[in-house]
A and B are shown apart, each in its own frame.
Chain A
Amino acid sequence: MRLTFNRRQTLALGAGVAAVAMFSAAPALAKNDADEAIKKFTGGKTPVQGKVKLDLPEIAENGNTVPMTVTVESPMTEQSHVTDVMIVANENPRSGVVTFHFSPASGVAEANTRIRLAATQDVIAVAKMNDGSFFMASKQVKVTIGGCGG
């Protein structure tokens, strides 16, 4: 049997599809569980912008190895230091990238590694201080060739 639609039916069908697309797009802003991962890390607190510096290239030609440096402003003394920094990427198949653990013995809260990015996306760094406060920074990276074997 061959399905045929007249003009009016086609229009109605199109509107229906558009409505479905809008509804399904609304809750799925991030492709993975990046938001939940941050909530879990902060225990529900909203991190404040600032103190964290995330250094990534504007454009990554190869998403398989993207150099990333994260620095957190802190005196790194027993009284005031950074304990953990979590990095997440919101369009990778899995949100987690890396978590760094610092202590006053670190001297400076700075670390560098190379990461995989599947597509153009935001990379988010959330720092946890020893007093329980949270700071964050994010940066968008445009990826030409995605990593993760895609």
Chain B
Amino acid sequence: MAAQPRIKLDKKEVKKGDIVEVKALVSHVMETGLRKDNDGNLVPRKILNKFVCLVAGKQVFAADFETAVSANPYIQFKFRAEQSGQVVLSWTDDDGSTIVGQDSITVI
């Protein structure tokens, strides 16, 4: 559906135990369900309600978004690098669809 999320890691090659910062931006309307369109009808709620980050298959960070998260949600967090692998970020929509983006890190 929407464009691919933009993901940026502050470093790609790290020492074991180093802290890596992740910044991610995904385009989404994040419709609150409280707003009315020009005809006065409520625009139905449609938000990304869940975000999960897995590093080498292990969850390092997650967030539950409510309607008060801005459109095109931006998220920034950190994790401790333990082993090389894929960094997989996924957002779940109210309708059950998911937006997935990934990057990788190498522990040296």
Q: Which chain A residues have a beta carbon within 8 Å of chain B's beta carbons?
A: 64-66, 69, 76, 89, 92-94, 96-108, 110-117, 147-149
Contact = CB atoms under 8 A, between A and B. Distances in A.
A111 B77 contact: yes
Contacts of B74: 112-114
26 contacts: A66-B70, A69-B76, A76-B80, A96-B66, A96-B68, A98-B65, A98-B66, A100-B77, A101-B62, A101-B64, A103-B59, A103-B60, A105-B80, A106-B78, A107-B19, A107-B79, A111-B61, A112-B75, A113-B69, A113-B70, A113-B73, A115-B68, A116-B68, A116-B69, A148-B32, A148-B34
Contacts of A103: 59-61
Given A103-B59, A106-B78, A92 B69 contact: no
Interface in B64-102: 64-71, 73-80, 82
Please indicate which of the listed interface residues B58, B70, B73 has the most CB atoms of chain A within 10 Å of its own CB: B70
A114 B78 contact: no
**B interface, size bucket:** 20 to 34
B105 interface: no
A97 B66 CA distance: 5
B75 A113 contact: yes
A101 B32 contact: no
Nearest to B74: A114
A100 to B, nearest CB: 5
Contacts of B73: 113-114
B35 interface: yes
A101 B35 CA distance: 29
Interface string B6-48: 0000000000000100000000000010111000000000000
